[in-house]
């Protein structure tokens, strides 16, 4: 079971940075997907502000070692930050 992103203790100044490492690429892809879905769900129900999430996955297929970095930031005014979008990047060396 994945812990809710809002329950992480690393929040500082409306920002959260969390790193995951695993030998299973698919597992990390599922974690990234679940956190993106959670942020979209939260944003659908909050009024003025919103959360933006960025996920970056890197690793080596040869070494079976992958890293997922999750960054979340809360913006208190949607109208001023509408250009902020949720993003996911992936760079895996074969």
Beta bridge partners of 18: 70
The pTM is what? 0.80
Q: What per-residue string of b and e applies to 68-81 under the rule 16 or more CB within 10 Å gives b?
A: bebebbbbeeeeee
pLDDT tens-digit series, residues 7-56: 777 788 889 999 999 999 999 999 999 889 988 888 888 878 888 999 99
pLDDT grade, residue 82 (50/70/90)? low
Backbone angles phi, psi at 61, to 5 degrees: -65, -35
pLDDT value, residue 19: 93
Confidence band (pLDDT; 50, 70, 90) for 5?
A: confident
The whole-angstrom separation of Cα 60 and Cα 23 is 9
Partners of 67 in beta bridges: 21, 58
| Average pLDDT over every residue of 70-75 | 90
């Amino acid at each position: 079971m994945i812990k809710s992103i809002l329950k992480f203790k690393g929040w500082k100044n409306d920002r959260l940075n969390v790193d995951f490492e695993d030998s299973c690429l698919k597992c990390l892809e599922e974690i990234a997907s679940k956190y993106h879905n959670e942020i979209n769900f939260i944003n659908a129900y909050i009024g003025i502000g919103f959360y933006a999430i960025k996920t970056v996955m890197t690793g080596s297929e040869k070494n079976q070692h992958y890293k997922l970095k999750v960054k979340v930031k809360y913006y208190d005014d949607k109208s001023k930050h509408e250009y902020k979008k949720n993003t996911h990047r992936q760079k895996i060396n074969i």
